[in-house]
Amino acid sequence: MRRVVVTGIGMITAVGNDKETAFKAICDGVCGIGQISLYDTEGHSVTIAGEVKDFDPSTVMAPKEVKKADRFIHLGLKAAQEAMVDANFPEEMNKERFGISAASGIGGLPAIEKNSIILDNRGPKRISPFFIPSALVNMLGGFVTIEHGIQGPNLSCVTACAAGTHAISEAAKTIMCNGADQMLVVAAESAITGVGIGGFAAMKALSTRNDDPQTASRPFDAERNGFVMGEGGAALVLEEYESAVARGANIYAELAGFGESGDANHITTPTLEGPLRAMRAAYKMAGEPKVDYVNAHGTSTPVNDKNETAAMKELFGGKENCPPVSSTKGQTGHCLGAAGGIEAVVSLMAMREGIVPPTINYMNPDENCDLDIVPNQARKADLNVVMSNSFGFGGTNGVVIFKKI
């Protein structure tokens, strides 16, 4: 089987518009959650989110092209540009052997909301001709491939909050099966809209701590009461190992294992067994190594954090054998389909820097979440193997494991 390595990364989040800025802020415990500015929140029960700040889409697209793409595409383009520069490919590379694996949980929700209102108020003739191309999830991959001239497989994952992680495993499978030599993974989400926040709020999935947004997302804390929406994008360049070595690429890590599973239980309530099966599959594929750090899905919801804790105990053979675990969603918010991509980049950078990011806003211990969650402050550590978990509505789960070479 062909080996797969990571040779380029990029991300944009609520705490930074590039990977270095964002990672430092995450490790410093900076919270990017605040009052929503992207729309008028009057009358809404939830008014907080983790918005990307000071981002001008005309810096990643020609100004006249900006309106042709929704915000999630803008964010994905930014992350992809950073990852491609980081990978430092030669001009003469074979673009037909280079593919893309894109991901978003919802895609162009702002465009859907806007054009639905236009239809209702002004009629069908006023709908934008750019509406459909700007809203489709696979248009993220489409825009990125056009910019970079990528002509290989063009794939997309739409698996809720596991989409970013699944895009990584799909890209890896393509390389392993000799369908491509390089794959650009791009995961992006921007669903902070009235209907997006309102919909999740109607499900009682979101925290309602509007008066204290900085501590609203509390993964593993006993008083957690829901997740906080975030937005952002991430990109990873995956490459066949021999190809990367031959061109002298900087290799962050090898993708040692990945696992996927379905709960087959409930459309929104997660189980313990489904995530555990995905973790076991990734762990077995990686050769059951000593895992030094787990970036948890850790949503700050009562059920997920409890079940994920129990699943990790089962996987590693008890609390005493579990590695340090943290959730970085307290800093970035929950970026839905982009979360897996962002957290994979965070995990790779943690390995590179030898530092475990903290779980911020941990104030009240929960006996059901009793692992070493690296509370509130980052910790220096020698990280050789890291795991990243993602679980989504519909009972869809994805896990990836990276190891140093």
pLDDT at residue 153 above 90?
yes
Bridge partners, 19 (sequence order): none
Write the CA distances from 184 to 61, 244, 357, integer angstroms: 19, 14, 25
- The two structure tokens encoding residue 252: 């962050």
Q: What's the mean per-residue pLDDT of the chain?
A: 97
Contact present, 70 and 108 (Cβ < 8 Å): yes
Q: What is the pLDDT of residues 232-243, one digit of tens each?
A: 999 999 999 999
CA 343 – CA 285 distance, rounded (Å): 20
How many structural domains compose the chain?
1
Enumerate the active-site residues.
161, 297, 334
Q: What is the mean pLDDT of residues 238-251?
A: 97
Contact present, 6 and 236 (Cβ < 8 Å): yes
Bridge partners, 403 (sequence order): 254, 385
pLDDT at residue 91 above 90?
no
Contact present, 167 and 340 (Cβ < 8 Å): yes
Q: What is the CATH classification number for the domain harbouring 347?
A: 3.40.47.10
Q: What is the pLDDT of residues 187-237, one digit of tens each?
A: 999 999 999 999 999 999 999 999 999 999 999 999 999 999 999 999 999
How many other β-carbons are positioned within 10 Å of the β-carbon of residue 214?
A: 15
CA 372 – CA 214 distance, rounded (Å): 22
How many other β-carbons are positioned within 10 Å of the β-carbon of residue 75?
A: 31
Q: What is the pLDDT of residues 275-327, one digit of tens each?
A: 999 999 999 999 999 999 999 999 999 999 999 999 999 999 999 999 999 99
CA 22 – CA 331 distance, rounded (Å): 10
**Structural domain span for residue 344:** 1-405
Q: What is the mean pLDDT of residues 85-104?
A: 96
Residue with tokens 């992809």: 80
Helix (H, G, I), strand (E, B) or coil at 317: coil
Q: Which pLDDT score is estimated for 298?
A: 98
CA 388 – CA 162 distance, rounded (Å): 11
Contact present, 296 and 306 (Cβ < 8 Å): no
Phi and psi, residue 298, nearest 5°: 35, 70
Residue with tokens 């000593």: 290
CA 79 – CA 87 distance, rounded (Å): 12
Residue with tokens 């459909």: 132
Q: Please, what's the largest Cα pairwise distance for the chain?
A: 63
Question: What percent of the chain has a predicted confidence (pLDDT) above 90?
Answer: 98
Q: How many helices and strands in the chain, by DSSP H and E?
A: 12, 14
